[in-house]
Amino acid sequence: MELIAVCKEIIIKCLGLKQGELFLVVTDDEKKKLAEALYQAGKALGAESMLFVMNDRLKSGEEPPKPVAAALVAADAAICITGHSMTHTQAKKMAVASGTRVATMPGISEDMFLEGAITADYAQVSRLTRDVTKRLDQGKQVVIEKDGHTLTFSIDGRQGVPSTGVYLHPSESGNLPSGEAFIAPVEGSAEGELLVDGSVVGVGCLTQPLLLTIEKGRLVRAEGQGSDQLLEILGDGLGRNVAEFGIGTNRWARLTGNVLEDEKVYGTVHIAFGSNMTFGGEVEAGVHIDCVFRSPNVTIDDDQLMEKGNIPFA
């Protein structure tokens, strides 16, 4: 009952669910228990609450069955609570285009419903997220420096995406819990090295750094903890595309090894590989894997966005 009460508060605060709306919870076998609490919370709030259980996906970014995609389009509001992420799928993109308010909760644990990022002052998170997004919108060239390693890439002509954690209007969407601003780098533009010391999807929290070498927008080499797992998940094709550059904006978030929360931590940046077509890029790879690192220096067109993880205007 405590979990259902927490779910009711989350659904009201973050999705603004109203009595009589069509509320869909999409889940898999791994997250069915938590999804049931969200479904019951939706019913208690007077919504037409629906629970759709599918087989576990094999990797983040893999498309759900067609009936799930159709149900998402038909709903007024939806939560996708799954083991692997549906955030960067065509099914989610089509639902948002149809007007559905969508929150995705990939890999969330019961602890994350009660502690950390979900407890944030989302008005504060929203303000910072939108301020950072404006900097991304106005930028052309990004430089990331960390511990003697530098990565550069273009964001010229691309639009930033604010994931505020509050999705009250038609076609608003993002992760939950949330707090990040992100953008799709121009394909083929990324060059240099990236030192990852936070966490990697499929690997978890890192105790030793992972050095990534990127040429012409593709990951060409990985050395260190988790390198074999990362390369296996991404494969040799489009999965190695530099897909996303994101900045964490949630001071309540914790680095736990679960990327849903890790990439929201204030002071962290993440680079993802694989698909980015759902947020302004050109690549559909069937996989999307985030790599989180702490306290970098970031400049956009020679303007300091972060200094050792600190955002000067935060």
Could you read off the pLDDT of 217-230 as tens digits, one per residue? 999 999 999 999 99
pLDDT digits (tens, 9 = 90+) for 272-285: 999 999 999 999 99
Virtual CA dihedral for 197, 201, 203, 204, nearest 10 degrees?
60
* Burial category of 232 from C-beta neighbours within 10 Å (exposed 0-12, middle 13-18, buried 19 and up): exposed
Angle between helices 66-74 and 90-97 (to 10 degrees): 20
CATH of 2-114, one of 3.40.50.920, 3.40.1830.10, 3.90.1640.10, 3.40.50.2020: 3.40.1830.10
Query: Cα-atom radius of gyration of the chain, to the nearest Å?
Result: 18
252 contacts: CB under 8 Å, gap ≥ 6: 116, 117, 118, 119, 120, 121, 125, 179
Could you state, in order of their start, the residue ranges of all structural domains in the chain?
2-114, 118-306
Average model confidence (pLDDT) for the chain? 96
Q: How far is CA 202 from CA 138, 151, 226, 231, in A?
A: 33, 23, 8, 11
Q: Mean of the pLDDT values across residues 235-257?
A: 97
pLDDT at 76 over 90: yes
pLDDT at 267 over 90: yes
pLDDT at 211 over 90: yes
pLDDT digits (tens, 9 = 90+) for 99-118: 999 999 999 999 998 899 99
pLDDT at 1 over 80: no
The H or E element that residue 248 is part of is strand 242-248
Q: Mean of the pLDDT values across residues 4-20?
A: 94
Ordered alpha helix ranges (H), 120-214: 122-138
